[in-house]
Amino acid sequence: MKAALTIEGLEVDFGGFKAVDSMTTVIDDGELRVILGPNGAGKTTLMDLISGKTAATGGKVHLFGRDITNRPEHEIARAGVGRKFQIPSVFRDLSVLQNLEVAVSHEPRVFRNLRLGMSRADRKRIDEVIDLTGLGAVLDTLAGDLSHGQMQWLELGMLITQQSKVILLDEPTAGMTQGETSKTADIILRLKGTHTILVVEHDMAFVRKIAEKVTVMHLGKLLAEGPMQTIEADPAVRDAYLGSGGLH
């Protein structure tokens, strides 16, 4: 199996405090990896280091064998790492379809006549994303008028349209209804295999639905890694969550 992301001894030192420390893990191409850990474990910071938002003070990140450690954020994004934030970066004044067209073109200003100049492959990709996200009924709706869930799916769809190969999702179900959470799980499960997905999430019902291999962080370090069932039974993991109510 080819590695999509290779993280080797990664660390960031914030004035003597290592939020991520000696972190090592390999995420295979097409894998869906869930990152768990109590509050403050370093999960978001790990994503910041992978995406270039925060500079590492030690260690390496390789993307399909290419060293992307401490490269500028836009360069890492262009190399194929897409990040979805809790506040979506969609164009609120454009329709759903226009947002997808912008994502395919990488060029916000040319959206007006884009359909005409779009390649068959691009059009196909947009159609696939519409099918995946179930946004077909709201293609003409302004993104700003979408429901919370729809907006999250649009942003995820935009990452796929712009051909992100590795997708980082930080608490993708935050603020979602149960129905929206369930649909998000379905979308993520459909992406598995064609995309490499890293998910940080606290909603354990959602995690149990999607998780295969899980990485648990604690105090910036790797605490445990393996199948969800093994992780849930691991005494060290239970101890790490003590005081925060356990894996819930």
Ligand X SMILES: Nc1ncnc2c1ncn2[C@@H]1O[C@H](COP(=O)(O)OP(=O)(O)OP(=O)(O)O)[C@@H](O)[C@H]1O
Residue 37 touches ligand X, criterion: CB under 6 A: yes
CB of 58 to ligand X, least distance (A): 15
CB of 91 to ligand X, least distance (A): 27
Give the binding range for ligand X (CB under 6 A) out of 40-48, 158-166, 208-216, 222-230.
40-48
Alpha-carbon distance of 135 to 161, in angstroms, equals: 14
Q: What angle do CA 124, 126, 132 make, to 5 degrees?
A: 105
Kindly determine how many residues on this chain lie close enough to bind ligand X according to the rule CB under 6 A: 11
User: Rg (Cα) of the chain, in Å, rounded?
Assistant: 18
Nearer to ligand X, 19 or 167 (CB): 19
Alpha-carbon distance of 138 to 167, in angstroms, equals: 24
Nearer to ligand X, 11 or 101 (CB): 11
Residue 113 touches ligand X, criterion: CB under 6 A: no
Q: What would the two tokens of residue 126 be?
A: 């947009």
CB of 41 to ligand X, least distance (A): 4
Closest Cα partner for 70 from 4, 21, 12, 26?
12
Question: Beta partners for 168?
Answer: 83, 198
CB of 40 to ligand X, least distance (A): 4
Residue 40 touches ligand X, criterion: CB under 6 A: yes
Nearer to ligand X, 161 or 215 (CB): 215
Cα separations in angstroms, 213 against 36, 82, 106, 113, 210:
11, 21, 33, 44, 10
Interface map 1-20 toward ligand X (x if CB under 6 A): -------------x--x-x-
C-alpha neighbours within 13 Å on the C-beta side of residue 173: 23
> What's the N-to-C CA distance of the chain in angstroms?
32
Question: Beta partners for 33?
Answer: 198, 213
Residue 25 touches ligand X, criterion: CB under 6 A: no
CB of 35 to ligand X, least distance (A): 8
Q: Which of 39, 65, 112, 140 binds ligand X (CB under 6 A)?
A: 39
Interface residue list for ligand X (CB under 6 A): 14, 17, 19, 37, 39-45
